[in-house]
Amino acid sequence: MAAAKKKSKFFNRELSWLEFNQRVLEEAKDPANPMLERLKFLAITASNLDEFFMVRVGGLHMARMAGRRKKDPSGLTPLAQLNEITQRAKAMMRDLHACFTDVVSPALASAGICHADINALTAEQDAALHDLFADELFPVITPIAVDPKMHFPHLHNLTLHILIRLQAVSGKDQTDRYAVMSLARTGSRIVQLPADSGYAYVLKEEVVIKYMANWFPGYEVKECAVFRFTRNADFAVHEEEAPDLLSGMEDVLEERKTGECIRLEVAEEISPSLLRFLTERLAIAKGGVYPIKGVLNMKDFMSVACLEGFDELKVEPWPAQRSPDLIANEPMFGQIAKHDVLLYHPYETFDPVVRFIEEAAADPETMAIKMVLYRTSSDSAIIAALKRAAENGVNVTVLMELKARFDEERNIHWARNLETCGVQVIYGVKGYKTHAKICLVVRRESTGVVRYCHFGTGNYNESTAKLYGDVSYMTNNAELGADASAFFNALCGYAQPSGFKLISMAPIGMRSKLLELIGYETERALNGKKAVINVKVNSLVDVALSEKLYEAAAAGVKVHLNVRGICCLVPAKNITVTSIIDRYLEHARIIHFHHGGKPRVFIASADWMPRNLDKRLELMVPIEDPACRDRLIQILELHLNDNQKMWKLLPSGSYERVVEQQNPAVRSQQVLYEQACEAVAAASKNRRTRFEPHRPEPREQ
């Protein structure tokens, strides 16, 4: 990476992200993974790149156009970053498409999932495609004439289009004519064909091209080119100018539809003249053209990866387990009153979190429910429970974060929906995103008013909770309950967020708390005492925290950083940086300080990035219950001992896979799933009442 060549203390953020996405791509290339699992990782890699270009590359384009030359911590200007990104991203996309074309697609065909040759179909298949064309494509798709002198038609971002070059069949005028066809909103792109066995398919663009002449009677179709472009989506609401946040976010959604085109993907076989026409009309710079050898828009193949059947081509299912700390037919609040509950998803089901809110909604003793919603599922049981609670007379307050990128439209819909049911909806906090994961239930009990809290590292989203590794923590700890009330009072009114007893909140106290805790370990190391910091986050970008970690490591503190994605910190003596890419997306934020043998353990909603620590409302929550705290430490140690799915960051900025041919092999996600199964089995035999996972042997220091 360029940052390493300059011997900077930091790696470039964008190039580090591309290294992360390469690790995702390596899962698609791993022959140990079943073929449909490999296809799934190809689709994820492609989807990740789309968002990266829309947001990160889009932002850099805006900075360059504004003439900004300020260097990032790695020493790169916006223009230098764009040049490095272009080179790296093009290599990645070549790698991605070669993996599909040369390896995955042929292997799937051998196993019965075949991308058929549209020019070599059976009579039955041809008839089926003709019916599709006549019934669903020809009546719906309308070609748009493109006059070289007129404005290019507005086209949808990230969808497939076909550019067509035509000539009149008769007459003296043989001037080239152009038209464009959009395949947006025309049903599934993957078209299943009749087949005696297996699954045969063609792509919708292939069907359209096959019957293209039908749209243009009197013209000869000289050339067709499938293309797709990416618009800049890095727009933010101007809160000082918008009449309110809701209308401001609606304006942002409109802006994204017309953002600058920053990437053009085209089939590699496009002619130079047609490519020139397209790039000129879309105002795409040469570096923004990405010729694709093979199939465009690989993320559409997620539907193929999820085909029913073909179990031999998929990973073995790991169904989420119930928590041994909870009894299914007993009320949640009585159980939480007896002991704190810690869940590690998706190995343990997210159902207790939904049940926590559903029981609160139906319980006549519930006085209030307050929660932050950042991202929710499309058919959310939690939203439904909140609506019922309000209709039952419960005082329900929801902070609906409208600035959750790419979920703004859904959140606007849910916010309006909740308001009609009597829920008090707060549309975020001016100047900040609210990213905290918290739900507070206030109940009237025989002993008085009691607060029950759920704190998490992930969103209240039942769908992603099946795919993301996250922590849920439920407690009726009085001090945490008081802090939760103070947090909501600060968000929803004019109270200043201060005087928290246990939790730390960004942007006013989290960074200083982390610096203080790192400093304590540093002091102990300087005094010759054991000092260890073990951190699991998604991204580490913050310069101040990185500098403090460098200082701690220089003093002798053993610093273990498990960073799934971006890491701008360069590993050094006493600092190891690892990343785990496996079946589930590692999303939990867990922080452990040795603290003189009296461990301090926290879960957090925030990554260690300036945006989280300075521009978002985030929470870091101490886990003081001994059983829950020890379990989190064990999880950190297990991830540290992974020798099958771990990658280690090198001082050069590249990663190497850590695969040790030894007994026992430790694949941390698999071990976590097996532990969850064993815990349920043990609980059913009454061998234990709290979760007691097997503790792996610690790695030698």
State which H helix or E strand residue 600 sits in.
strand 600-604
Q: Is the pLDDT of residue 494 over 70?
A: no
Position 105 scores a pLDDT of 97
Distance CA 179, CA 372 (A): 48
Q: Give the span between the Cα atoms of 579 and 490, in whole angstroms.
A: 36
Token pair, residue 176, equals: 């080239």
> Is the pLDDT confidence value at 251 over 80?
no
Q: Is 19 exposed, middle or buried (0-12, 13-18, 19+ CB in 10 A)?
A: buried
Q: Stretch 339-357: mean pLDDT, rounded?
A: 97
The values of phi and psi at residue 407, to 5°, are: -115, 10
Candidates 10, 15, 75; CA nearest to 572 is 10
pLDDT band at 259 (very low <50, low <70, confident <90, very high): low
The pLDDT value recorded for residue 173 is 75
Distance CA 393, CA 395 (A): 6
Please tell me the least confidently modeled range out of 553-562, 600-609, 652-661. 652-661
C-alpha to C-alpha distance for 105 and 111, rounded to whole angstroms = 10
What gap in Å lies between CA 430 and CA 589, rounded to an integer?
A: 26
Higher pLDDT residue, 149 or 578? 578
At 688, is the pLDDT very low, low, confident or very high (cuts 50, 70, 90)? Answer: low
CB 435 within 8 A of CB 429: no
Tell me which residue of 436, 432, 392, 400 sits closest to 416, measured CA to CA: 400
Q: Which residues contact 480 (CB under 8 A, 6 or more apart)?
A: 453, 455, 502, 503, 621
**DSSP-based three-state secondary structure for 1:** coil
Mean pLDDT, all residues of the chain:
89
| Residues 488, 608: Cα–Cα separation, whole Å | 23
Looking at 232-236, 414-418, 606-610, which range is the least confident one?
Answer: 232-236
How far apart are alpha carbons 343 and 481 in whole angstroms? Answer: 19
Closest CA to 567 of 586, 584, 554: 586
Is the per-residue pLDDT at 411 higher than 80? no
Runs of H (alpha helix) within 258-407: 272-282, 302-305, 332-338, 351-362, 381-391
* pLDDT at residue 2, as a whole number: 45
Predicted pLDDT at 252: 38
Q: How many residues can be counted in the chain?
A: 701
pLDDT at 418 over 70: yes
pLDDT-derived band at 697 (thresholds 50, 70, 90) equals: very low
With a CB cutoff of 8 Å and minimum separation 6, the contacts of 131 are none
196 burial type by CB count under 10 A (0-12 exposed, 13-18 middle, 19+ buried)? exposed
Task: Supply the pLDDT for residue 1.
Answer: 46
What secondary structure does DSSP assign to 120-186, as a single string?
S--HHHHHHHHHHIIIIITTT---EE--TTSPPPP--TT--EEEEEEEESSSS----EEEEEE-TTS
| pLDDT value of position 421 | 85
Structure tokens at 226: 């499938």
Calculate the CA 611 to chain-centre distance: 16
Burial grade of 174 (CB within 10 A; 0-12, 13-18, 19 or more): exposed
- Cβ-in-10-Å burial (0-12, 13-18, 19+) of 197 comes to exposed
Top-confidence residue, 414 or 458:
458
Q: Sheet with 261-267: list strands edge to edge.
A: 144-145, 177-182, 161-168, 219-231, 261-267, 289-292
Side-chain-facing half-sphere of 417: CA atoms under 13 Å: 16
**pLDDT, average across residues 378-390:** 90
Q: Give all domains of the chain, ordered by start, each with its CATH number.
A: 1-111+298-317 (1.20.58.310), 115-284 (3.30.1840.10), 332-497 (3.30.870.10), 505-684 (3.30.870.10)
Instruction: State whether the Cα torsion 355-357-358-362 is positive or negative.
Output: positive
Catalytic residues: 435
DSSP letter for each residue of 414-473? HHHHHHHTT-EEE--BTTBEE---EEEEEEEETTEEEEEEEEESS-S-TTGGGTEEEEEE
State residue 149's pLDDT score.
74
Q: What's the pLDDT tens digit per position in 18-52?
A: 999 999 999 999 999 999 999 999 999 999 999 99
Which has the higher per-residue pLDDT, 315 or 497? Answer: 315
Whether the pLDDT of residue 256 is over 60: the answer is: no
> What span, in angstroms and rounded, lies between the C-alpha atoms of 683 and 326?
10
